[in-house]
Amino acid sequence: MTTVSGVNSTAASTTTTKNKTLGQDEFLTLLVAQLKYQDPLNPSDPTEFTSQLAQYSQLEQLFNLNDAMGALTQAQDKSERLSALSLIGQEIVVEESTFTLGSDPVQIGYRIDGTVSEASLVIKNSSGQTVATLPAGDLSAGNHFLTWDGKGSSGNTLASGTYTITINAKDSSGSSATVSPLVRSKVTGIDLSGSEPQIVTALGEYKISSIHGAYTSSQTGSTGNSG
The pLDDT of residue 132: 95
Mean pLDDT of 128-137: 94
pLDDT-based confidence at residue 87 (cuts at 50, 70, 90): confident
Give the rounded percent of residues in the chain with a pLDDT score beyond 90: 40
How many other CB atoms are there within 10 angstroms of residue 99's CB atom? 26
Q: Is 10 helix (H, G, I), strand (E, B) or coil?
A: helix
Residue 5 binned pLDDT confidence (cut-offs 50, 70, 90): very low
Does position 6 have pLDDT exceeding 90, yes or no? no
Residue 40 has pLDDT above 50, yes or no: yes
- What CA–CA distances, in Å, run from 116 to 73, 82, 121, 177? 41, 39, 14, 7
pLDDT computed for residue 62 by the predictor: 77
Indicate the DSSP class of residue 19. G
What three-state secondary structure class fits 165?
strand
pTM > 0.75: yes or no = no
- Mean pLDDT of all residues in 139-155: 93
Arithmetic mean of pLDDT over the chain:
78
- Interhelix angle 46-85/24-36, rounded to 10 degrees, is 170
Long-range contacts of 212-217 (CB under 8 A, 24+ apart): 212/93, 212/94, 212/95, 212/111, 212/143, 212/182, 213/92, 213/93, 213/143, 214/87, 214/90, 214/91, 214/92, 214/93, 214/187, 215/90, 215/91, 215/92, 215/93, 216/90, 216/91, 217/91
Confidence of residue 78 (pLDDT cuts 50, 70, 90): low
Q: Residue 187: beta bridge partners?
A: 201
pLDDT score of 222? 41
Per residue in 93-103, pLDDT tens?
Answer: 999 999 999 99
* The pLDDT of residue 63 is above 80: no
Residue 130 confidence (pLDDT) above 70 = yes
Cα torsion 56, 61, 62, 65 to 10°: value is 160
d(CA 90, CA 121): 25
